[in-house]
Homo-oligomer: A and B are copies of this chain.
Amino acid sequence: MNVRSICLAILYDGDATGYEIRKLSVEGEYSYFVDASYGAIYPALARLEQEEFVTSRVEQQDGKPAKKIYSITKTGRATFIQSLFEKLGEDEYRSEFLLFLRFASELPQSLVEQRLNERLAQIDSDLADFDRMKREHNHPGDAWVIDFGRTCMQAARHYIEAHGAELIALARPDRDDAAAAE
């Protein structure tokens, strides 16, 4: 799933600027699919425009810099939907958190406990995000996908709450942390 596809997916639901696309993909609803920077988005949009998958118009604003608003074309829509017919790339999950937990037995209890608590807080904040998104969602499939995410997150939360203590018990008593680092 490259930056090009993400631009098309976002523009599918409505016009946007490069600036807005980046925001959506880093902080917003799309952050669960991608995480793209300006250096990737602006060139991608320029190329998409050349290929006539999107068009742009410039809008002057007083005080603020001019905006370059992109719209998806009919060809762009067709190409994007067509790409969904092709074999999907595999989902990928990369978790430094889980790698950390795997080594709980080599780490001080206090650190393991802290990381577990941080994760619970993170999940709660994500869950709140999902609720906000669900209120704002516009696309018909959104609600389903959001609830899917919520279900998985809640399962993770419950597991940590039910079994966190077992992991902490595995870790090193706190005086030992100098030994662990040695």
**Chain A interface residues toward B at CB < 8 A:** 1, 5, 9, 12, 32-35, 78, 81-82, 84-85, 88-107, 111, 115, 139-142, 144-145, 147-149, 151-152, 154-156, 158-160, 163, 166-167, 170, 180-182
Choose one: B5, B94, B139; the contact of A102 (CB below 8 Å). Answer: B139
Distance in angstroms between the alpha carbons of A90 and B182 in the assembled complex? 26
Choose one: B90, B104, B145, B180; the contact of A98 (CB below 8 Å). Answer: B145
- Of chain B, the residue at the smallest CB distance from A148 is B159
Contact B156 A82 (CB under 8 A): no
Contact B156 A152 (CB under 8 A): yes
Cβ distance A110 to chain B, nearest Cβ, rounded Å: 11
Contact A88 B102 (CB under 8 A): no
